[in-house]
Amino acid sequence: MARVAPNAAVAVSAPGKVLLAGGYLVLDREYNGLVFGLDARIHCVVQDVPTRNGVSLSEITVRSPQFEDAVWEYGYTLIERDGGMQMRPLRIDADLKLNRNPFVETALCYALSYVTTVSGNPIITPSAITILADNDYYSTPSDLASGERFHNFGVPISKAHKTGLGSSAALVTSLTAAVLAHYLPDRIDLTTAEGKRRLHNLAQAAHCAAQGKVGSGFDVASAVFGSCLYRRFSPSILASHSEPGSPGFGSHLRATVDEAGTPWDTEVLKDAVRVPAGLRLVMCDVSCGSGTPGMVRKVLDWRKQEPAEADRVWRDLQAANEALAREMRALAEASGAEPDYASLRLCFKAIRKNIRTMGEKSGVPIEPPAQTQLLDACEAVQGVVGGTVPGAGGYDAIALLIEDQDSTVAELQALFKGWEFKGEERGGGNVSMLGVREEMEGVKVEDTTPYEEYLIV
């Protein structure tokens, strides 16, 4: 029998992130965060599954070929009474353990529920989805082949060491965007402000559902919009959202995404963020790791117990963060004169001082002594303007703003090669510079050519 020809594949990518300034503060709508997208991206390609004439399938297969056993097959059913789309994980082989991925599963549930509600068509054609991650999302082995864009890590995803670039937010954003571009090509244009706004709202809802909590959302916002000064949405927008499968979920989700009745109060200021010519961001992976949820909980508990003291720290840190964003933009807009980075260095020193104060008062190692020693050593390198422990801090990583010169990079790499990092109770760890830098652009529709070898023929 003749086979039905598949439609052309659709490819979308979304960047990683670093919250350079605004850790903990970004949880509160009174404050904001300076978040940079990173040029390490997660890519999703959606293609139709060809079927024989007269054969009907209700199945979506998701593959991540860089990892072992990273294949998820889903059946899907539209729930009655406007309950949205239900995803049913399927076993490929009865002898294999059912391997679940809540971020993939939830993103598909939310995206397909939105698709069917908007289109009015209950039929979802079967598709195959391929997920590819740029190598810097994971600590890679020393024998990583030069020029190999999508390294085969040879381990299950659960065994791969993440470098803290926001893989879950980039995954949910790129997967949601690819599904929308594939199934609603005439309704959602991801190159427009309107299309990105809807994608942002839908990806935020899915990501929060997958996490089991309503977070600040800065990571999803940067995955959609790129580098920005970000102020979070009110948690109430999603806190009362109905669950998939419950009556009215589909319509409720569409109303939330399309802002029918309740507008989102997220603030994303692209123009407030600039990187001066001649400078760049670098990320350095520290292979110790920290328990971010526990750290956040302890800091917020301290803020509840000592509100006056905490508010002083919050205000001082916010002022230092805003000064950094303001100074970076002023230098970026200046012309002619030789750049002077003295003011930027003072901003970084003020941020680090306030972060250490927050850590001391709350009893949380936000910039622990081992990171203080490492950052001090980095800031002594010629060409390093300043650095921080980004996001929630701890032992995961450091971020540096440096002069964009090979000599500065080489000196830092030499420093890390001989650095003996002491992670206190977590033991020692290696320090390495990732190959990423700032990325001003967010989600992108990509040409499918670079992914062809990974697609299902």
Alpha-carbon distance 395 to 423, whole Å? 7
Residue 6: the pLDDT is 41
Alpha carbons within 13 A on the beta-carbon side of 110: 33
187 SS3 class: coil
Which amino acid appears at position 259 of this protein?
E
| The pLDDT of residue 47 | 95
E strand spans, 49-91: 59-63, 71-79, 84-90
Tokens 């040029």: give the residue. 39
Question: What confidence tens digit (pLDDT) does each residue in 106-130 have?
Answer: 999 999 999 999 999 888 999 999 9
**In which element (H, E) is residue 161 found?**
none
124 φ, ψ (degrees, to nearest 5)? -110, 120
CB 136, CB 436: distance < 8 Å:
yes
DSSP string computed for 387-411: EE--TT-SSSEEEEEEES-HHHHHH
Domain 10-270+441-454 CATH (choose: 3.20.20.70, 3.30.2130.10, 3.20.10.10, 3.30.230.10): 3.30.230.10
Q: What pairs with residue 284 in β-bridges?
A: 398, 433
Q: Which two tokens stand for residue 84?
A: 């949205």
Where exactly does CATH 3.30.70.890 map onto the chain? 279-439
The per-residue pLDDT for range 300-337, each reduced to its tens digit, is: 999 999 999 999 999 999 999 999 999 999 999 987 67
Task: Record the tokens describing residue 457, joined without a space.
Answer: 């023929």
Give the rounded distance of the alpha carbon of 68 from its chain centre: 23
pLDDT at residue 28, rounded to an integer: 96
User: Helices 249-257 and 193-211 meet at what angle, rounded to 10?
Assistant: 130
- Low pLDDT (below 50) residues in the chain: 1-6, 55
Going by C-alpha positions, the residue among 363, 419, 361, 372 that lies closest to residue 395 is 372
Alpha helices in 186-226 (DSSP H): 193-211, 218-225
H or E element at residue 282? strand 279-286
pLDDT number for residue 14? 98
Are the CB atoms for 27 and 216 separated by under 8 Å?
yes
Kindly report the backbone phi and psi dihedral angles of residue 136, in degrees, each rounded to the nearest multiple of 5, phi listed first: -70, -5
State CA 419 to chain mean position distance: 28
Strands 431-433 and 428-429: unpaired
Positions of CATH 3.30.230.10 in the chain? 10-270+441-454
Give, in words, the CATH class of 279-439.
alpha beta
> What is residue 4's predicted lDDT score, i.e. its pLDDT?
32
- The secondary element (H helix, E strand) that includes residue 356 is helix 342-362
Query: How many C-beta atoms lie closer than 10 Å to residue 449's C-beta?
Result: 7
Per the confidence metrics, is the pTM higher than 0.85? yes
Instruction: Give, to the nearest 10 degrees, the angle between helix 342-362 and helix 292-305.
Output: 80
9 DSSP β-pair partners = none
| Pair of tokens at residue 79 | 């729930």
In total, the chain counts a number of residues equal to 457
